[in-house]
Amino acid sequence: MNVLEPLVLAIVNTLFDVIPIAAILLFFQLFVLRRPLAHVKRTLLGIGYVVVGLALFLAGLEKALFPLGRLMAEALTHPALLGSAGSSWRDYGWVYAFAAAIGFATTVAEPALIAVSIKASEVSGGTITVWGLRIAVAIGVALGVALGTFRIVTGTPLHWYIIAGYVLVVIQTVFAPRLIIPLAYDSGGVTTSTVTVPLVAALGLGLASAVPGRSLLLDGFGLIAFASLFPIMSVMGYAQLGEWRARRAARLRQARALQDQPF
């Protein structure tokens, strides 16, 4: 019984989420474009899959993973586990480790990121792989969230981190391969969605209330901002790494070709 109730709730919520979108699409398709859709049945079935799939997904998360994740965020930030006073930032090792691990894991499961990766891989002709992009983004989120928890623990101002991050992004933009740049900027926005936000926000608020001297309002927010800034850097880094390896391989090939040449 208690599985059914969140399920129904999730379907209703997802429908409310989808109805305004469907209304807008329908209006423009019927009254502005005035063209019948090509594969009406298939498209409608697909949208139905999206609604039901998203609802099942959210209900399952709400049933299983979110409560556990929230409990865990509380337990890890609890003074009992932090041991001796928790006065230095070094006492929070497990918190950083958990932040990085949960940031990575939730990003890999993020449906919006899967969607963007599929599109990017399709458009790039396979140069950007679905899995490669997702891992790159997940590494970025892991680093970002871990650094964000470090910020809450030390109580340093949020905007210095964000501004420093912006400067790094701008510098990387100059050097990164041109084609990756829009995708990298986009991946900052897509990472923080249905799976990541609830768990990461719970971690931030839990930590801000556990660390002595932190304000819930001033310090509890801002983790999501880290999670959406760092993937920009890691995706550009992923492309830079790929370019560097391709260049090195080309150089090696050239060197070998020179060696093989008879005198």
Partner 1 sequence: MRQLLHDLLRSLGDSVRDLMPIVLVVAFFQLFVVRAPLPDLGGLLAGALLVVAGLTLFVRGLEMGLFPLGDTMAYGFARKGSVAWLLLFGFALGFGTTIAEPALTAIADEAAKVAAQGGAIAPSDAARSSYAYGLRLTVAFSVGAAVVLGVVRILKGWPIHWFIMAGYGGVVIMTALAPPEIIGIAYDSGGVTTSTVTVPLVTALGVGLAQSIRGRNPLLDGFGIIAFASLTPMIFVMAYGMAIG
Beta carbon nearer to partner 1, 179 or 252: 179
Q: Is 9 in the site for partner 1 (CB under 8 A)?
A: no
Beta carbon nearer to partner 1, 59 or 210: 59
Candidates 79, 154, 189, 253: give the one binding partner 1 (CB under 8 A): 189
Minimum CB separation of residue 38 from partner 1 in Å reads 6
Contact 204, 221 (CB under 8 A): yes
If you write DSSP's letter for every residue of 165-189 in order, what string do you get? HHHHHHHHHHHS-GGGHHHHHHHHH
Query: How many residues of this chain bind partner 1 (CB under 8 A)?
Result: 107
Candidates 89, 108, 150, 168: give the one binding partner 1 (CB under 8 A): 108
Minimum CB separation of residue 253 from partner 1 in Å reads 26
* Contacting residues for 234 by C-beta, under 8 A, at least 6 apart: 136, 137, 139, 140, 143
Contact 109, 204 (CB under 8 A): no
What are the structure tokens assigned to 210, written together? 């556990």
Minimum CB separation of residue 180 from partner 1 in Å reads 8
Burial class of residue 9 (count of CB atoms within 10 Å of its CB; 0-12, 13-18, 19+): middle
Which range, of 27-35, 82-90, 244-252, 253-261, touches partner 1 by CB under 8 A?
27-35
Interface residues for partner 1 in 169-188 (CB under 8 A)? 169-170, 173, 178-179, 181-183, 185-186, 188
Pairwise CA distance, residues 226 & 242, whole Å: 25
Q: Is 45 in the site for partner 1 (CB under 8 A)?
A: yes
Q: Is 30 in the site for partner 1 (CB under 8 A)?
A: no
Beta carbon nearer to partner 1, 41 or 212: 41
Q: What is each CA distance from 147 to 95, 116, 152, in whole angstroms? A: 11, 25, 9
Helices (H), the chain: 4-27, 40-60, 66-76, 79-82, 93-108, 111-123, 130-154, 158-175, 181-190, 196-210, 216-219, 223-260
Q: Is 76 in the site for partner 1 (CB under 8 A)?
A: yes
Minimum CB separation of residue 153 from partner 1 in Å reads 16
Candidates 5, 30, 42, 79: give the one binding partner 1 (CB under 8 A): 42
Q: Is 150 in the site for partner 1 (CB under 8 A)?
A: no
Q: Is 3 in the site for partner 1 (CB under 8 A)?
A: yes
